Amino acid sequence: MGNEQLVIFSVAIALIWQAIGYYMVMYMSAMASIPEDLYESASLDGASALRQFFTITIPLTWNTIRTTLTFFVISTINLSFLLVTAMTGGGPNGSTEVFLSYMYKQANTNSAYGYGMAIGVVVFLFSFALSAVLQMITKRDVYEF
């Protein structure tokens, strides 16, 4: 694997490392709101820890999972620009170029403001559509306790 392929993985690792604490707090908060009685009852009924995870934890935290997935999609598009700009500036040889850094270069370097704005609108519409599709795909009944 050449340096150009390795650098994009380095940016991806930095992006994941930056976001993991934020999402972990949200997941821990959602899991802390599940009553222990449900786990105790499932344990007495003979459910294993894995079974409890898939039948209690995931269904009762599903809204949080949906929310964090949407946040992740939107923030990845936005934060990738910041990390690429700070870490590599789009290099080497443009291998870490993302939509928003390309938009920035077009609008500020080439004085193609209209083209840069058009790219921004497309990125916005793409983010909005991706979020809407994600919400439709992950929609299911809400379980309450």
pLDDT at 45: 93
Q: Answer whether residue 110 shows pLDDT above 90.
A: no
For residue 144, being part of any structural domain is answered with no
For residue 92, the domain's CATH number is: 1.10.3720.10
In a domain, 142, yes or no: no
- pLDDT of 135 higher than 70: yes
Q: Which residue has the higher pLDDT, 8 or 42?
A: 42
pLDDT at 125: 93
**pLDDT value, residue 58:** 92
* pLDDT bracket for residue 1 (50, 70, 90): low
Q: For position 144, what pLDDT does the model report?
A: 67
Q: Which residues contact 16 (CB under 8 A, 6 or more apart)?
A: none
The reply to whether 145 falls in a domain is no
pLDDT in tens, 60-100: 999 999 999 988 888 888 887 888 878 777 677 777 778 78
Q: For tokens 């809400």, name the residue.
A: 142
Give the total number of structural domains in the chain: 1
Residue 129: inside a domain: yes
Residue 121 domain boundaries: 3-137
Q: Looking at the domain assignment, is residue 143 inside a domain? A: no
Average pLDDT over residues 22-38: 94
Answer yes or no: is 116 within a domain: yes
What gap in Å lies between CA 53 and CA 111, rounded to an integer?
Answer: 54
* C-alpha angle 133-30-144 in degrees, rounded to nearest 5: 80
pLDDT recorded at residue 49: 93
- Residue 88 is assigned to a structural domain of this protein: yes
Diameter over CA atoms, the chain: 68
Distance from C-alpha of 106 to C-alpha of 97, rounded to nearest angstrom: 12
The residue type found at 97 is: E
Asked whether residue 72 is assigned to any structural domain, the reply reads yes
